[in-house]
Amino acid sequence: MKVLYGTTNPAKIQYMKEILKGLDIEIVGLKDVDLDIGSVEEVGNSPLENARIKAINYSKYVDMPVFSCDTGLYINGLEVNKQPGVYVRRIDGEELSDEEMITYYSHLAESLGGQVAAKYMNAICLVVNGSKIYEYDGEDIASREFIITKDPHNIRTKGFPLDSISIDMKTKKYFVELDEENDDEYIETNTDAYRSFFRTSLKIKQSY
């Protein structure tokens, strides 16, 4: 079954393909279906609201199931009104580039002692036949806790700038340093929840 992922970010598409490997789902991105309707204004106040806004919007233009994801960054020690949340890339109304994000959050970590624990809260919304909406934002699709450091790594991953200042608590490695084995282990922290969501919503089975 072909399913559209409402994003042009190749890193996000590859990540979801890895998570859903073995299910009878072919993930395609917006560029794969030549859908160019410009950016969708994400005006929600939570990851789930933004995921819903994007999925419903993209579903109007294609004849296949469409899903969108959104995430919010939550940093230990910050007051609620100062949490990045869904505005991880937008600071004071300005959209930051990858390098600007690295600079901003590394300076934030420095102001909090040099290293600070953080977590991504995730949400997903799937629209089927243009009207049936399935959505989820449970703790089991959240990331595990990690460290944001003031000292950026020199390696960059396009689309995931904060990987250059994020450190896995278990391996003590920067996210950009994680090898395939470590990366697979990290992905597995929420794999089951995502797979269960798609199996239930689309009523599909394992393909092998």
Model confidence over 165-208: pLDDT tens digits?
999 999 999 999 987 555 555 555 688 999 999 999 999 766 54
Q: Is residue 163 part of a domain?
A: yes
Q: Is residue 85 part of a domain?
A: yes
Q: Is residue 208 part of a domain?
A: no
Q: Is residue 9 part of a domain?
A: yes
Q: Is residue 34 part of a domain?
A: yes
C-alpha distances out from residue 84 to 17, 61, 105, 118, 171, Å: 27, 31, 10, 11, 26
With vertex at residue 89, the alpha carbon angle to CA 121 and CA 136, rounded to the nearest 5 degrees, is 25
- Which CATH number covers residue 159? 3.90.950.10
Tokens encoding 20: 């859903």
Domain around 117 = 2-202
Q: Is residue 207 part of a domain?
A: no
For the entire predicted model, the pTM comes to: 0.81
Distance CA 88, CA 83 (A): 9
pLDDT at 34: 82
Q: Is residue 73 part of a domain?
A: yes
Positions of the chain with pLDDT under 50:
208
Tokens encoding 13: 């598409």
pLDDT at 42: 80
Q: How many domains does the chain have?
A: 1
- Range list of H helices, 39-177: 47-59, 98-111
pLDDT at 181: 52
129: alpha, beta or left? (left if phi > 0; alpha if psi -120 to 50): left
Q: Is residue 14 part of a domain?
A: yes
